[in-house]
Amino acid sequence: MTQYSAPGVLAPVLSNTWDKPESWKLSTYRDNGGYQAIDKAWEMLKDDPAAITNYIKSSGLRGRGGAGFPTGLKWSFLPPADGGPRYLVVNADESEPGTCKDIPFLMANPHLLIEGMIICLMAIGGHHGFVYLRGEVVHVYRRLMAAVREAREAGYLGDHLGPNGDYSIDITVHAGAGAYICGEETALLDSLEGLRGQPRLKPPFPAAEGLYARPTVINNVESIASVPGIINNGIEWFTAMGADTKNSRGHGIFSISGHVKNPGQFEAPFGITMRELLEMAGGIREGHELKFYAIGGSSAPLFTPDHLDVPLGYEEVVGAGSMLATRAIQVFDETVSVVRVISRWADFYQHESCGKCTPCREGTFWMRQIMHRLEAGKGQEGDIELLYEIANNIFGRSFCALGDAASTPIKSGIDLFRSEFEAGYHTPAAELFPIEKSALFAAKSEVSVK
Ligand SMILES: Cc1cc2nc3c(=O)[nH]c(=O)nc-3n(C[C@H](O)[C@H](O)[C@H](O)COP(=O)(O)O)c2cc1C
Ligand code: SF4
């Protein structure tokens, strides 16, 4: 990653050891300052059981799983201890098109997550943490289990922990069957409990009744992995990054994929712009120009070259009409059909809709059908209006945010590139934008319309 970095612009904290030999090993982690934050955290707890939670609160760390909810505040929502179990669940489901930060992080530096989990469990008075991972990423599953084993053998996990030797912490790595909806925190909990993964009605929120109906903190991988750095380096260090944004402090992994010369993970302070990130990613592939990009995965409104200088902070991106979400940036050049891209996303959302509520279950199916018609150049008069109406009926009326996520790119695509949708009444997208020109790999240019 550092190969393409401009000095001073990147902030490799989570990614600082990725290019070290065997970066995932306990020895490499320890050689680079790993597992030192735990002692500091024990020290903090001496006088005040809420000290770690308050420290994370003051750092301004916000959840990196999409919504940007303040992490310390979330921990503080747990009710007072009653002697029963309290859990930490780490969300490593990472399934949205374009998102690819947690998986490479876990491959490269699993001990940083484990250290963050230990500190979070100490902060909330918990003894058992879970990592919920997609079952398909077997290599990551194995790596995480090996890292947990190493940490246990080295005495970071297990019994007799802490200055008094009276604390116990263990971690379970759980592989799900692979469903986007299982990234939604309450569906994740159901899946972890062995049920079908479908969202729960809230309230009660997981802080009050989460895993096995006990108080539970659910955080994204990157949120928890950011904790040791804050404890080690201090609040001032953390808040200096992103200081130009309204309320987005620290560092984050920006995943850049698509038509750039050097796609990959770029860990940078919040407030960096897409123009800077694009430069570090080597720019758009030779002889082409930027047409549009997804700034926050496939669920956020699209951005165009007009947005290149928007500071990438949560509020700033919302102010410019989109959402920063998971910073999964997919870049598309002028060879790409917007209709085709959104049609693929419509396939995804229809496939991943869990079926619990009617607007999303039925609406994603209808939207997919219409998108396929438009993509094939067989759209019917009124299709665009119908598509927009269905999207509006899903948005805000679904049981969970997957419904909103499915409708957002469709509305955004129509708003920004209506003429391409209109062309879908008579001309196939593959004729206007031949796939061979945009594909980086061999591809099939047919789409089936039933
Ligand atoms: C359909 C759907 C999928 C989601 N997938 C993920 C995911 O893969 N990873 C994640 O951390 N959060 C995901 N979320 C958000 C979680 O519900 C939750 O807000 C997050 O894990 C909280 O962690 P944070 O506060 O650290 O961001 C998803 C939400 C929805 C609605
Ligand atoms: S919005 Fe979709 S994914 Fe969410 S509960 Fe309803 S059907 Fe399931």
Same fold, 251-333 and 338-436: no
pLDDT at position 440 is 85
pLDDT at position 450 is 54
Q: Is the CB of residue 183 below 6 angstroms from any atom belonging to ligand 1?
A: yes
Question: What's the CA-to-centroid distance between 359 and ligand 2, angstroms?
Answer: 8
CATH number for 26-234 (one of 1.10.3720.10, 3.40.50.11540, 3.20.190.10, 1.20.970.10): it is 3.40.50.11540
Q: Is the CB of residue 126 below 6 angstroms from any atom belonging to ligand 1?
A: no
Report which protein residue has its CA nearest ligand 1's atom 22: 219
Q: Point out which residues pair with 175 in neighbouring strands.
A: 133
Distance CA 34, CA 267 (A): 19
Report the residue among 93, 95, 96, 181 best suited for mutation to probe ligand 2: largest number of ligand atoms under 8 A from its CB: 181
Report whether 425 contacts 313 (CB < 8 A): no
Query: From the CA of 199, which ligand is nearest?
Result: 2
Handedness of CA 388, 390, 392, 396 (dihedral sign): negative
**Residue that is written with structure tokens 């374009």 in the block:** 98
Q: Is 205 left (phi over 0), alpha (psi -120 to 50) or beta?
A: beta
Distance CA 379, CA 426 (A): 7
Question: What's the CA-to-centroid distance between 200 and ligand 1, angstroms?
Answer: 14
Distance CA 123, CA 119 (A): 6
Report the residue among 61, 94, 140, 184 best suited for mutation to probe ligand 1: largest number of ligand atoms under 8 A from its CB: 184
Q: Is the CB of residue 438 below 6 angstroms from any atom belonging to ligand 1?
A: no
Structure-token pair, residue 256:
């850049």
Q: Is the CB of residue 411 below 6 angstroms from any atom belonging to ligand 2?
A: no
Report whether 362 contacts 391 (CB < 8 A): no
Q: Is the CB of residue 394 below 6 angstroms from any atom belonging to ligand 2?
A: no
pLDDT at position 4 is 40
Question: What's the CA-to-centroid distance between 171 and ligand 2, angstroms?
Answer: 30
Report whether 372 contacts 447 (CB < 8 A): yes
Q: Is the CB of residue 353 below 6 angstroms from any atom belonging to ligand 2?
A: yes
pLDDT at position 9 is 83
User: CATH 3.10.20.600: does it fit domain 251-333?
Assistant: yes
Q: Is the CB of residue 352 below 6 angstroms from any atom belonging to ligand 1?
A: no
Convert the chain into a string of H (helix), E (strand) and C (coil). CHHHCCCCCCCCCCCCCCCCCCCCCHHHHHHCCCCCHHHHHHHHHCCCCCHHHHHHHHHCCECCCCCCCEHHHHHHCCCCCCCCCCEEEEEECCCCCCCCCHHHHHHHCHHHHHHHHHHHHHHHCCCEEEEEEECCCHHHHHHHHHHHHHHHHCCCCEEEECCCCCEEEEEEEEEECCCHHHHCHHHHHHHHCCCCCCCCCCCCCCCCCCHHHCCEEEEEHHHHHCHHHHHHHCHHHHHHCCCCCCCCCCEEEEEEEECECCCEEEEEECCCEHHHHHHHCCCECCCCCEEEEECECECCCEECHHHCCCECCHHHHHHCCCCCCCCEEEEEECCCCHHHHHHHHHHHHHHHCCCCCHHHHHHHHHHHHHHHHHHCCCCCCCHHHHHHHHHHHHCCCCCCHHHHHHHHHHHHHHHHHHHHHHHCCCCCHHHHCCHHHHCCCCCCCCCCCC
Please give the model's pTM, rounded to 2 decimal places.
0.95
The class that CATH gives domain 338-436 is mainly alpha
Q: Note down pLDDT in tens along the chain; length 450 residues.
A: 334 444 458 999 999 999 999 999 999 999 999 999 999 999 999 999 999 999 999 999 999 999 999 999 999 999 999 999 999 999 999 999 999 999 999 999 999 999 999 999 999 999 999 999 998 999 999 999 999 999 999 999 999 999 999 999 999 999 999 899 999 999 999 999 999 999 999 999 999 999 999 999 999 999 999 999 999 999 999 999 999 999 999 999 999 999 999 999 999 999 999 999 999 999 999 999 999 999 999 999 999 999 999 999 999 999 999 999 999 999 999 999 999 999 999 999 999 999 999 999 999 999 999 999 999 999 999 999 999 999 999 999 999 999 999 999 999 999 999 999 999 999 999 999 999 999 887 755 555 555
Instruction: List the chain domain ranges.
Output: 26-234, 251-333, 338-436
